[in-house]
């Protein structure tokens, strides 16, 4: 089992920045990929970014490329999402997730999930 706890969400004006954190505990040695997903009201959960825990290789959705940066600190078992130039359409609940295999964008293929943190971007 892997436990994930997100933090860092909040309310920000368009153009602003937020930094999300995701702390992992438990069987962290089993984690190969860590990812961020988001879900807006009435919409399906969508891929935002992922990082390979060992190599640090990163992957981004086109909608956030150039604005968001995913990173990890293996010593702290923590993953981050730096979000800059935020837009109202970035408003959603952001979830971190992990899987024991290579990065994919399908949320159903991730095994463990955090409880989510709300990000609201006002116009």
Return the residue matching tokens 């990890």: 72
What average pLDDT does this structure show over 83-93? 98
What average pLDDT does this structure show over 59-84? 98
What average pLDDT does this structure show over 75-90? 98
User: Quick one: tokens of 100?
Assistant: 């024991």
Across the chain, mean pLDDT equals 97
Q: What is the pLDDT of residue 98?
A: 98
What average pLDDT does this structure show over 77-82? 98
Cβ–Cβ < 8 Å for 92, 107: no
Q: What is the pLDDT of residue 119?
A: 98
What average pLDDT does this structure show over 84-108? 97
């Amino acid at each position: 089992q892997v436990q994930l706890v997100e933090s860092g969400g909040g309310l920000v004006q368009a153009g602003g920045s937020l930094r999300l954190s995701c702390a992992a505990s438990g069987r962290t040695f089993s984690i190969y990929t860590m990812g961020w997903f988001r879900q807006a009201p009435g919409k399906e959960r969508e891929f935002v970014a992922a990082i390979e825990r060992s190599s640090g290789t990163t992957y981004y959705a086109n909608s956030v490329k150039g604005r968001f940066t995913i990173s990890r600190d293996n010593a702290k078992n923590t993953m981050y999402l730096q979000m800059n130039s935020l837009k109202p359409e970035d408003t959603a609940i952001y979830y971190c997730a992990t899987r024991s295999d290579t990065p994919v964008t399908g949320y159903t293929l991730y095994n463990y999930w955090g409880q989510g943190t709300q990000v609201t971007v006002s116009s």
